[in-house]
Chain A
């Protein structure tokens, strides 16, 4: 039953994605062109990348609000090291390592000290953004070699698929396999649904959570590298406020904020849905305001509508049961 309703939501989302594509095509003939779709999907590559790790974190009933700040910090590190004359591959590795360290710090505070993740990551949201300013100040590093910026906004040779989105698809497939087909993945649901029972069942709850926060930091740093090359600009204030967008997409994807429920497919479909609606409205010059409202309504509706339907069903059944009794 639970699986059926869950699958139902994912199918609904995928149908909505195609409806949005169709709607976009009706709005403008330019919408379904390869170049527009490339531009449009590249636009949400950072949100998509971070959404993968955020899905896992929310499934174990935690949250990471520091992702956008980690993105900014890794972008600043990348830019500062490049400006200092480091070879770019080495600077990328350093930026990723900084992200993993940031995630490790979150994870240690949460699992070793037992602090709530919401409180810890509100703190590190401020701290990591501040460190980004310490590293780079208000400078913008922009003169990256064309080879690397091409990784950011170029496409796979011979296809219209943006390179960051191709990278995202590879990682998404890995995440799906790990989450749904390995013991580790299944254990995340157990931990999210009931951490006490999971601990009694022999799962190393703290270690699993720690590894997920490291992963979250690493993915945010990867998104930071992508962001830097896509805009050809390393800045401390890159992607301010992105965290709420990522969380909105994951929750719209049917992942429960209370943990234990949800799937990568749903989250990915939701990222695409929001991105495509965004793109479709932009191409016909509908301003940001409508998109903001649409995102909010979709998010609320995704939980409210199934709740109301369930309520209506039980109400009808109860009335029918009552009616039967009266006839007897």
Chain B
């Protein structure tokens, strides 16, 4: 038994081939290609302000992708994130209206907590109610948005309702990097390490690749499912607070339609919708790539009405190429193992 393991280890590809085969490397290359190609035509694309705007635009999507990735790893999906973002943004805004002196960290905590509660509803439905994730979260997408409509009641939160310290938090920066972007990077790194190297994190992969085997290995699949959805909700709740800080103006429709963008970013980043495969680095790069593509189209002055179509075609191309490449390398791996 031990001999067999040692053998597979020696026959495993070396670091360089593994690196070349990794999804993240091809994504990075594509990202560089698009960025440098655009910059070659219009050097302003790489100017400090336009890069800052790019990262600020991607930040919120990239943050929500973190939670979505955890859920996708378990072979589930969370469609309700857009409604959680909207509800959290508006309720946090209302909190500021009621308590103008509210410290910023408390607002972030409030968003996290609210999101965790909403996410736990999804988790309970999926883990204990045995409702398929797509049905459960499509349902809560409507329910949470409905609650949002009821609370907002045609009203709106404006920047004038918000304390300058909170708005300053979004626009402020540390050594030139916007706080918002820093926060997202910290969350990504934290969860990246957790998913990659900690037992709890690895369990999400185990649940998604083979839930029966995971049960036999002593993993509590129901508990993992519950915490996974709670985390996805909590992160979406945090994203809601940042959405409010970034845009200042929030109405009942804030964040709607975000769910498909987030899933698209994760899928482009190589997170499999069939569970068990993907990394946060890849998902983050996916979000960045979609953001770079759309801002490159603006920079290159693509005719307005063509932009969305080109974006759609690029998204489709990215998905197709990515899936085909990953299938091919999986086939090669299988062949290598057989011989």
B142 touching A122, Cβ below 8 Å: no
Check B320–A296 contact: CB distance below 8 A: no
Across-interface contacts of A292 in B (CB, < 8 A): 142-143, 145-146, 149
A294 to B145, CA, bound (A): 11
Q: Is A60 an interface residue (CB 8 A)?
A: no
- In the complex, which residues of chain B have a beta carbon less than 8 angstroms from the beta carbon of A241? 256-257
CA distance A247 to B309 in the complex (A): 24
Q: Is the CB of A307 within 8 A of B140?
A: no
Interface flags, B123-150, vs A, CB<8A=1, else 0? 0010001111011101111111111011
Chain B residues numbered 43-81 whose CB sits less than 8 Å from any CB in chain A: 79
Taking the complex as formed, is B183 at the interface, i.e. its CB lies under 8 A from any CB of chain A?
Answer: no
Cβ 8 A contact of B135, one of A119, A123, A294, A303: A303
User: Which 7 interchain pairs have the tightest Cβ spacing?
Assistant: A130-B309, A127-B312, A296-B142, A126-B312, A293-B146, A130-B308, A123-B316
Contact present for A123 and B141 (CB under 8 Å):
no
CB–CB B312/A258 < 8 A: no
Q: Determine the chain A residues whose CB is within 8 A of the CB of B256 once the complex forms.
A: 241
**Cβ–Cβ contact A133 & B141, under 8 A:** no
Bound form: Cα–Cα A32–B11 in Å: 75
Number of residues on chain B facing chain A (CB within 8 A): 45
Choose from B144, B145, B319 the contact partner of A115 (Cβ within 8 Å). B319
Q: Does B1 touch A at the CB level, under 8 Å?
A: no
Nearest Cβ on chain A to B315's Cβ, whole angstroms: 5
Chain A residues at the B interface, C-beta cutoff of 8 Å: 65, 109, 113-116, 118-120, 122-131, 133-134, 137-138, 241, 244, 247-248, 251, 256-258, 287-297, 299-300, 303-304, 307-308
Q: Of residues B136, B142, B274, B323, which shows the largest number of chain A Cβ atoms within 10 Å of its Cβ?
A: B142
Q: Could you list some 15 contacts between A and B, CB below 8 A?
A: A109-B320, A123-B312, A130-B306, A130-B308, A130-B311, A130-B313, A133-B305, A241-B257, A251-B135, A257-B132, A293-B142, A293-B147, A296-B143, A303-B131, A304-B125
* Identity of the chain A residue whose Cβ is nearest the Cβ of B310 in the assembled complex: A130
Determine if A130 and B312 form an interchain contact, defined as CB atoms under 8 angstroms apart. yes
Contact indicator B320/A113 (Cβ below 8 Å): yes
User: Is residue B21 contacting chain A, with contact meaning CB distance below 8 A?
Assistant: no
